[in-house]
Amino acid sequence: MKMLQKSMLFSLLHYANALSSCKLLGPGNLPSLFQEGEIMIGGIFPVYNKEIFNASRIFYHLIVCTYRFNLRVFRWTQVMIFAIEEVNRSLLLLPNVTVGYMILNSCSSPSSALQAALAMAGGVGRTQPPACTPAVSALIAESGSSQSIAVAGTLGPFQVPVVSYFSTCACLSDRAKFPSFFRTIPSDYFQAKALAALVKHFNWHWIGAVQSDDDYGRNGVSAFIQEAKKLGVCVAFVGTVLRTYSMDKILKVVDMIKMSSVKVVLGFAPEGDMYPLMLEIVKQNITGIQWLASEAWITAAVPSTPEMYPSFGGALGFVMHKRAIPKLKSFLTDINPYASPEAAFVKEFWEDVIGCTPNINGVTEEYEPTKKLCTGKETLKDSDHVFFDVTQLRASYNVYNAVYAVAHALHQLLFCQAALNQTFKQCKKVSEISPKLNLKKVNFQNMFGDDIFFDANGNPPPSYDLINWQMSEGKVQHVTVELILKFLITQVPKSVCSTLCPVGTRKAQIKGKPVCCFDCIPCAEGTIANKTGNVECTPCPEEYWSNSLKNACIPKTVEYLSYQEPMGIAVTFVSLMGTALSMATMLIFILYRDTPVIKASNTELSCFLLFSLFLCFLCPLTFIGKPTMWTCVLRHTAFGVTFAFCMSCVLGRTIVVVAAFKATFPGNSTAVKFGHAQQRIIVGSCTLVQILICAAWLNISPPFPDRVFKYSNTKIVLECNTGSQAAFCAVLGYIGLLAITCLVLAFLARKLPDNFNEAKFITFSMLIFCAVWITFIPAYVSSPGKFTVAVEIFAILSSAFGLLISIFAPKCYIILIKPEKNTKKYMMRKI
């Protein structure tokens, strides 16, 4: 127990000491790297990062804050010094002008960063005389967006340029709020677009997001969500983390990830804020998540460890292009705490890299007896520590460019081109420049061939590398993916709220849920979805219909009455049989024209009627087969004229019968008036009327072949459109008028006393004719498709057979079966 208390006391003292190093109580308490110069450039870096120390395993669930030395950030400070020394050695950039620097620590705190910025802007920062140095002409600051917002927002009205090397919040592009802010890293606006495009590339439509509770995280995730929505990507949840959060808040985010169905999570947070969450995810062994990273932690050294790899292996993120600064390595290996015992941060650097505490002047910290004491012979020359790898610099390269951007702005202000040659001469004094530097006009090419300039919002041109975490030789490697399509993942995870709707279905939004959550509904008849994920089903063209799977449009079945189908064959057979019977009957009438039965039947009108019936039986043949312009015109006009001809013949026969009956009365000469000439006139004139109606019909709006879609969704019915409905009705109406006239006249003469009274047969035939055509009208209207044609053919054949059988069958029966009755005596006998 005593050992536990002693260890606990030692830890708390250590944290308190570290915390005190970040307090900004006054100029004398600012841990800084300093070099005097005629022109001063300030630098603010979070060399110490605040982090959470969880002592719950030790004593009473104690959680305390500490500050951890960040080796990666310390290298940034050394790059700034290295770049300034290069500028001072240059004979072209700022000749005969010495640039000094003051570098302070911000502890990743906006308030500390602001205090450091105000101290440097006021020319304060040395404990040794002179206590006050020239105010800085520009600031290289800061890494965190929240810190940069505080610094740039405060110094902006005083026109002190602030050049950030790692602040990416898109909000810093607001020139109204931050008129003197510039940066050498692209805005999160571009990173958000790149991340959204990456998500879309892999068809991840359902993802989660984790943001840091600061301007960087909130603005970054907000920009990403806006871009993702444009691409149809939904964000299921947004968790919030911060390095100073309690473990309860961290666990809530972890539970959020575990309970969600997402397989892809974006972490938009600095490494210090992301690290506690990552530790807990590894602790709970949460795997199977594809992590997307912001540039703040994808290449950070602290989380890039083999212990993190099982949960975060394969992480993807965009970062600035890497560059190598070969001369930097020798500069870094020259760092020595014995050569510069007063230099800030060097002691901590030595402890991290060498692993021992430097024995400066024989004094060590009494409360850290566990640390190994250096012998003084240690060297960095042969060190293989990652700190000295200067071949893959990203943020460090941004710091390097920031220094040179300020140097070029100073050069433009101090120097002007000589009139007679290309050399430059100093046109202003150093005292005249502070702090009105103009970085808007900076545009140069550095020694590595990169163009350095700022747009109207102070941003550099966007350019990224895609980084992938891969394990190699027991270390996590940040592999640059040259082409996304060649990106190596063993298996690309799927992350969707709802699986993409298969072909033949469409999305149906679920009320109250994001657009990425939906049901899949089969397409309606006549519509298709031939791709996955269709929002709407596409209607098929009029000539097509959807197949059973609703994924393709297939041609509709073309339907018409053809000669090959059973109905067509039957109609053809019956039609030809009718024509044969008509011809046979006509032949009988011609052969037996001298017999009493034929003479009593008016041979001429009988032959006319049989010929018209012959034509009527041929009419159905024009209704069979694929409709054309000529067949459509022929079928309707031939039908109208032949039946009018037929009814005219029947009318003539009926008038002759009635006239013959009246001629039996004394003094009546009616029969004489209806001789052969008058009969021909009746037949010809009545037929001529129908011919004129048909001619008008063809002239106004003739029948034409038509494709009808209304009868069936899966069929196209080819039929003859009548064109003018009024003309068609006039043709039928005229035939009906003739038929009714015949019926009335025949009915009046039905009780004539002759043994062979033809009026009875005409009456019966007209009753059949009228019944058939009265029935035809509703059947014609209600019959679908080719059955409409069949109904019309049935009406034609039925009425034709009715006339043939009713009028001529009795005569043929007497002639062929009962020849004994075929005598004048029998015919003249009264019943």
Give the model confidence (pLDDT) of 373-430 as tens digits: 888 888 888 888 889 999 889 899 999 999 999 999 999 888 876 554 556 677 777 7
- Give the model's pLDDT for residue 482: 66
- What is the distance between the alpha carbons of residues 162 and 183, in angstroms, rounded to a whole number? 8
Res 767: pLDDT? 84
pLDDT surpasses 80 at 30: no
pLDDT at 491: 63
Question: How many whole angstroms from its chain centre is CA 133?
Answer: 60
The mean pLDDT of 452-460, rounded to a whole number, is: 93
The letter for the amino acid at 54 is: N
Question: Please, which residues have CB within 8 angstroms of residue 147's CB and are 6 or more apart in sequence?
Answer: 44, 46, 106, 108, 109, 110, 113, 114, 141, 167
CA 695/CA 633 separation, integer angstroms: 11
156-184 tens-digit pLDDT: 888 889 999 999 888 999 999 999 999 99
User: Which CA distances in Å does 320 have to 165, 186, 294, 475, 488?
Assistant: 11, 8, 11, 22, 21
Spell out a b/e string for 324-342, using b for 16 or more CB atoms within 10 Å of the CB, else e.
ebeebbebbbebebeeeee
Q: In the Cβ-directed half-sphere of 231, how many Cα atoms lie within 13 Å? A: 23
Tell me, what's the pLDDT at 18?
Answer: 37
- Listed in sequence order, the residues at least 6 apart from 729 whose beta carbon sits closer than 8 Å to its beta carbon are none
Least Cα distance to 651 among 558, 739, 572, 733 occurs for 739
**pLDDT of the residue at 749:** 67
Q: Which residue has the higher pLDDT, 275 or 659?
A: 275
Q: Is the dihedral of CA 699, 703, 705, 706 positive or negative?
A: positive
Domains of the chain: 2-186+324-366+375-453 (3.40.50.2300), 188-319+464-486 (3.40.50.2300), 505-555 (no CATH), 566-828 (1.20.1070.10)
User: How far apart are alpha carbons 20 and 31 in whole angstroms?
Assistant: 11
> What pLDDT does residue 366 have?
46
Mean pLDDT, range 47-69, rounded to an integer: 53
Q: In Å, what is the CA distance from 574 to each residue of 507, 567, 621?
A: 56, 11, 10
Residue written as token pair 């069949």: 790
Which tokens is 564 given? 């090959």
81 and 35 Cβ atoms separated by less than 8 Å: yes
Q: Are 424 and 417 in contact (CB under 8 A)?
A: yes
757 pLDDT band, cuts 50/70/90, is: low
- 763 close to 750: Cβ distance less than 8 angstroms: yes
The type of residue at 596 is P
Q: Which of 51-65, 91-105, 108-122, 164-178 has the lowest mean pLDDT?
A: 51-65
* Whether pLDDT at 361 is above 80: no
pLDDT of 129 > 50? The answer is: no
State how far the Cα of 438 lies from the Cα of 10, in Å rounded to an integer. 51
Six-digit token string for 134: 């020239």
The SS3 call for residue 284 is coil
Distance CA(507)–CA(131), nearest Å, equals 71
Phi, psi of 693 (to 5 degrees): -60, -45
Query: Mean of the pLDDT values across residues 711-726?
Result: 87
- pLDDT at position 440 over 50: yes
Compute the Cα dihedral for 660, 666, 669, 672 and give only its sign: positive
> What phi and psi, each to the nearest 5 degrees, are found at residue 27?
-55, -35
Neighbouring C-beta atoms of residue 249, cutoff 10 Å:
16
Q: At 66, is the pLDDT very low, low, confident or very high (cuts 50, 70, 90)? A: low
- pLDDT of 544 over the 60 cut: yes
C-alpha span between 61 and 48 (Å, rounded): 25
Checking 802-806 for CB contacts under 8 A at 24+ apart, the result is: 802/765, 802/768, 802/769, 802/772, 803/609, 803/613, 803/646, 803/650, 803/765, 803/768, 803/769, 804/578, 804/581, 804/582, 804/585, 804/610, 804/613, 806/761, 806/762, 806/764, 806/765, 806/768
* pLDDT single digits (tens) 791-831: 888 888 888 898 888 888 888 888 888 888 777 776 665 54
Runs of H (alpha helix) within 592-667: 596-600, 603-618, 629-662
Of 765, 776, 770, give the one whose Cα is nearest residue 805: 765
Exposure class string for 16-39: b at 16+ Cβ within 10 A, else e:
eebbebbebeeeeebbbbbbebeb
Average pLDDT of span 184-211: 92
Q: What average pLDDT does the chain have?
A: 82
* Structure-block tokens of residue 593: 């024209």
Q: What is the spatial distance between Cα 89 and Cα 91, in angstroms, rounded to a whole number?
A: 6
Rounded to an integer, what distance in angstroms lies between the CA atom of residue 644 and that of residue 343? 123
User: pLDDT: is 785 or 315 the higher one?
Assistant: 315
At 347, which amino acid appears? Answer: K
Residue 478 contacts residue 298 (beta carbons within 8 Å): yes
- What is the 3-state secondary structure of 194-259? HHHHHHHHCCCCEEEEEEECCHHHHHHHHHHHHHHHHCCCEEEEEEEECCCCCHHHHHHHHHHHHH
> What was the pLDDT predicted at 68?
80
Based on the number of CB atoms within 10 Å of its own CB, is 486 exposed (0-12), middle (13-18) or buried (19 or more)?
exposed
Instruction: Say how many CA atoms lie within 13 Å of 317 toward its Cβ.
Output: 25
> What is the rounded distance in angstroms from the CA atom of residue 295 to the CA atom of residue 464?
10
Q: What is the pLDDT of residue 263?
A: 92
Give residue 14's pLDDT band: very low, low, confident or very high (50, 70, 90).
very low
Residue 344 contacts by C-beta under 8 Å, 6 or more apart in sequence? Answer: 31, 32, 33, 47, 103, 105
